[in-house]
Amino acid sequence: MRTFDLAPLYRSTVGFDRLFSMLDQVSGFDGATPSYPPYNIERTGENAYRISVAVAGFTEADLSIEAKESTLTIRGEKQEKAEEKKGEVLYQGIAARAFERRFQLADHVEVRGATLENGLLHVDLAREIPEAMKPRQIPINGTAAKVIDAKKAA
């Protein structure tokens, strides 16, 4: 069920297409909200963040991370190895299907690194605002009345 119709906004604005698309995605209007693999987004400091994705059963070779413009994409594709099959699987509860998870990054957020430990892929992010964009104090240069010495003026 769609509760908001953004079509009038698309018709009357220019340059906000990406914003409206993100609103559609967040609100789940696109119909299918991916839930695999599960993930957490944590704030680890004032300007530091961490995305943790549950990737049990995947190795470093099965995963790829790509940061392009303001999008972080994490992909996983299990490499099947025929020689490793030792027995017949009676029940498979651990999903090993391919996935692609995308995250929209805010301005000036950069990927610092990634680690894979205990079935969790941790991607560390940091927001670094350029010096030119940071707030700065502007000194006030007042004009003080200059006193002219009467002796020098005469």
> Residues 39-93: pLDDT tens digits?
999 988 888 999 999 998 888 999 999 999 888 999 999 877 655 567 787 887 7
Using the predicted structure, report yes or no on whether residue 140 has a pLDDT greater than 90: no
Range of the domain at 125: 35-81+90-130
Shared-domain flag, residues 42 and 94: yes
Give the C-alpha separation, 139 to 152, whole Å. 32
CATH code: domain of residue 99: 2.60.40.790
Residue 1's pLDDT band (cuts 50, 70, 90): very low
Mean pLDDT in residue range 90-117: 87
Shared-domain flag, residues 22 and 94: no
Provide the whole-model pTM: 0.63
Mean pLDDT in residue range 8-32: 59
Give the count of domains, the chain.
2
Instruction: Spell out where 13-143 has E strands.
Output: 39-43, 48-54, 63-68, 71-76, 99-104, 109-117, 120-127
Mean pLDDT in residue range 93-110: 85
